Copies of this chain bind each other. A is one copy, B any other.
Amino acid sequence: MTRYKLTIAYDGTKFHGFQRQKKLRTVQGVLEKALFKMTKGQQVNVFGSGRTDAGVHALGQVIHFDYPGQIPADNMLKAINSLMPLDVLVKKSEIVDENFHARYGVKKKTYMYKVDCGYYTDPFKRFYTGHYPHHLSVDKIQVALKDLIGEHDFSSFAASGGVIENKVRTIYSATAVYNENNNELVFEFTGNGFLYNMVRILVATLLEIGNGRRDVHDFLRLFEVKDRQEARGTAPASGLYLKEVFYQ
A residues adjacent to B (C-beta < 8 A): 9-11, 57, 81, 86-89, 120-124, 126, 128
**Inter-subunit contact A87/B126 (CB<8 Å):** yes
Output the least CB separation between A56 and chain B (Å): 13
Q: Can you identify 13 A-B contacts, CB atoms within 8 angstroms?
A: A9-B122, A9-B124, A10-B123, A11-B123, A11-B124, A11-B126, A86-B126, A87-B123, A87-B126, A89-B120, A89-B121, A89-B122, A89-B123
A11-B124, A86-B121 known; 11 other A-B pairs, CB under 8 Å?
A10-B123, A11-B126, A57-B124, A86-B123, A86-B126, A87-B123, A87-B126, A88-B123, A89-B120, A89-B123, A124-B128
A10, A87, A120 pick with most chain B CB within 10 angstroms:
A120
**Inter-subunit contact A120/B11 (CB<8 Å):** no
Closest partner residue, chain B, to A126 (CB atom): B86
In the assembled complex, the Cα of A229 lies from the Cα of B214 at a distance in Å of 65
Closest partner residue, chain B, to A86 (CB atom): B126
Closest partner residue, chain B, to A121 (CB atom): B86
Output the least CB separation between A210 and chain B (Å): 24
Q: Which 9 A-B pairs have the closest CB atoms?
A: A11-B123, A86-B126, A87-B123, A89-B123, A86-B121, A89-B120, A11-B124, A10-B123, A9-B123
In the assembled complex, the Cα of A87 lies from the Cα of B120 at a distance in Å of 11
Residues of B within 8 A of A57 (CB): 124
Residues of B within 8 A of A128 (CB): 124
Residues of B within 8 A of A123 (CB): 9-11, 86-89
Residues of B within 8 A of A126 (CB): 11, 86-87
Closest partner residue, chain B, to A241 (CB atom): B124
Residues of B within 8 A of A89 (CB): 120-123
In the assembled complex, the Cα of A87 lies from the Cα of B122 at a distance in Å of 8
Closest partner residue, chain B, to A122 (CB atom): B89
Closest partner residue, chain B, to A57 (CB atom): B124
Output the least CB separation between A181 and chain B (Å): 13
